[in-house]
Amino acid sequence: MLDFDTAQQQLAAAGAPSGRTEHCPLHQARGRVLARDIIASIDLPPHDNSAMDGYAIRFADWSPDARLPVQQRCFAGMQPEPLQPGKTIRLFTGSVMPEGADTVVMQEDCTEADGVLQIHQAPAKGAHVRYRGEDMHSGGKVLSAGTLIGPAEITVLASQGIAEVEVHARLRVGILTTGDELVMPGNSLAPSQIYNSNGFMLAALAQGLGAEVSCVLHAEDTAESLDAAFRQLLAESDLVLTAGGVSVGEKDLVKPAIEAHGGTLSLWRVNMKPGKPVALAHIGKTPVVCLPGNPVSAYSVFTLLVSPLIRNMQGRGIIYPQVQWGVFAKDIVNKDPNRIEFMRVQASLKQGQPVQLSAYAQQSSGVMSSLTWATGLARVAPGASMPAGSAAPYYPLALWLA
């Protein structure tokens, strides 16, 4: 079995961005990946402005007994007059600072009566002024290529007047499930059959990462059915994911089908539980990742091994999300002396305490209900016996599946 960390690195490097880019309207850019650096075209703020509702003054004009006539009332969006010595201009948050003014006095620290301002609290020189370019400078880089665009990035782009951005084309992921025992939901089951959950699960996981699912196919356990499925998958996809059929049974025909299309397996079986039967191949330039047929195992493998590959092929700058740490709430034992176990856990946080990890009571890879309960996966070394309070690496699903 291949070491888990080595397998993760090899899989992440198994594909590259396609090089296809497109221009995307800003209001549709959430979840897309920037293809080019974004350079500021304007200073932000574009001019010195007031950070508060208050009054612009020359600091030199202030004294405890000063009475400053209000020269003008200037709202945001108006151009103020130059401030005359010994006077003040009423400003509001975002108002342009008048020429000659260097300080803003908050309205709470003063009173205005009959057009004259009296300041009750000594101001600090330069207080409550936002200076031109203190946020972004024209000509400076504000976002890097490879950035995943979210609401914060859209805010920055809009603030620069950008209406559309160049992004990587969506990664096309094709999905193949196999097994004569599988039936599509909505149909009736024979006694020896089960419903096909892997196709729907893998499609949802890929879409959650911002990929486009090009097709979801199911093949019978025959060479002919698999050949037809691979022809369509390879024609329509940048990455192919399969579930099941890659072991060594008489009807595990995915490996021969890959070889029939000119591919060879470069990775097979990984030191992890659940999820040992993982394979990687390339057919031409298209990576093919073969996941276990067990849905819980496939879910874990996708989270830990496939998601970094997808992020890399999307052109993202960050392909490995953060691994956090937590402590087990109860004693934990990994009974397998040879494989790392990734336990389904739920994290909770109490003030002043480290993150607490509670393991699902039944860690069998056949327990799909654990997936709706878990917030992440905790890594436990082979054969490890960990008493309550022991620390372990924690992979939050909210980060690893985004």
For the chain, the average pLDDT equals 96
Q: Alpha-carbon distance 177 to 197, whole Å?
A: 9
| Whether residue 118 is found in the same domain as residue 250 | no
Kindly report whether the global pTM for this prediction surpasses the value 0.85: yes
179 in any annotated domain: yes
Domain contains 78: yes
Task: Say yes or no: 174 and 264 in one domain.
Answer: yes
pLDDT the model gives residue 250:
55
Residue position matching structure tokens 């108002």: 95
**Three-class SS of 275-291:** CCCCEEEEECCEEEEEE
What single DSSP character describes residue 113? Answer: E
Q: What would the pLDDT profile of 277-297 be if each residue is shown by its tens digit?
A: 999 999 999 999 999 999 999
Domain with 288 in it = 4-19+170-313
Domain match, 57 and 34 both: no
Find the CATH number of the domain harbouring 161. Answer: 3.90.105.10
How far is 290 from 281, CA to CA, in rounded Å?
8
Angle value at C-alpha 273, between 294 and 376, nearest 5 degrees:
85
Rg of the chain on CA atoms, in Å: 30
Q: How confident is the model at residue 341 (pLDDT cuts 50, 70, 90)?
A: very high
Assigned domain for 319 exists: no
Is residue 135 included in any domain, yes or no?
no
CB of 164 within 8 A of CB of 157? no
**Top-confidence residue, 247 or 20:** 20
Q: How many CB atoms lie within 10 A of CB 269?
A: 15
Domain assignment of residue 396, yes or no: yes
> What distance in Å separates the CA atoms of residue 247 and residue 268, rounded to the nearest whole number?
9
Is the preceding omega at residue 45 within 30 degrees of 0, hence cis? Answer: yes
DSSP code at position 303: I
DSSP code for 305: I
In this predicted model, what pLDDT tens digit does every residue of 80-120 receive, in sequence order?
A: 999 999 999 999 999 999 999 999 999 999 999 999 999 99
Tell whether 117 and 85 lie within a shared domain.
Answer: yes
Query: Residue 82: which CATH number?
Result: 2.170.190.11
From CA 369, how far away is CA 373, in angstroms rounded?
Answer: 7
229 and 287 belong to one structural domain = yes
Which of 280, 313, 346 delimits the end of a domain? 313
- The two tokens of residue 291 are 């996941």
Domain finish residue from 106, 130, 154:
130
Going by pLDDT thresholds of 50, 70 and 90, the confidence category of residue 321 is very high
Q: The tokens of 370 are what?
A: 């654990």
Residue 246 predicted with pLDDT over 80: no
Together in a domain, 160 and 229: no
Number of domains into which the chain is organized: 4
Residues 120-142, mean pLDDT to the nearest whole number: 97
What is d(CA 96, CA 81) in angstroms, rounded to the nearest whole number?
10
Task: Indicate whether 284 belongs to any domain.
Answer: yes
Domain contains 174:
yes
CB-based contact 321:296 (threshold 8 Å): no
CATH of the domain at 187: 3.40.980.10
Task: Give 107's DSSP letter.
Answer: G
* 243 contacts 199 by C-beta, under 8 angstroms: yes
Q: How many residues does the chain have?
A: 402
Q: Can you give 52-120 as a three-state secondary structure string?
A: CCEEEECHHHCCCCCCEEEEEEECCCCCCCCCCCCCEEEECCCCECCCCCCEEEEHHHEEEECCEEEEC
Q: Provide the 10 A C-beta neighbour count for residue 388.
A: 11
Residue 92 lies in a domain: yes
Q: Do 191 and 223 belong together in one domain?
A: yes
Same domain, 189 and 204: yes
How crowded is the C-beta side of 199, counted as CA atoms within 13 Å? 18
CB 303 within 8 A of CB 401: yes
pLDDT in tens, 212-245: 999 999 999 999 999 999 999 999 999 999 998 7
Are 115 and 199 in the same domain?
Answer: no
Domain CATH number, residue 368: 2.40.340.10
Whether residue 252 has pLDDT greater than 80: no
Q: Are residues 163 and 66 in the same domain?
A: no
Q: What is the mean pLDDT of residues 60-88?
A: 96
Instruction: Report how far residue 153's alpha carbon sits from residue 169's, in angstroms, rounded to the nearest whole number.
Output: 18
Q: In the structure, what pLDDT confidence band is assigned to residue 247 with cuts at 50, 70 and 90?
A: low
Residues 73 and 121 in one domain: yes
Q: Quote the pLDDT of residue 245.
A: 77
pLDDT tens digit sequence for 31-59: 999 999 999 999 999 999 999 999 999 99
**Cα–Cα distance between 401 and 239 in angstroms, integer?**
17
291 and 174 in one domain? yes
**Looking at residue 248, what is its pLDDT?**
58
DSSP 260: H
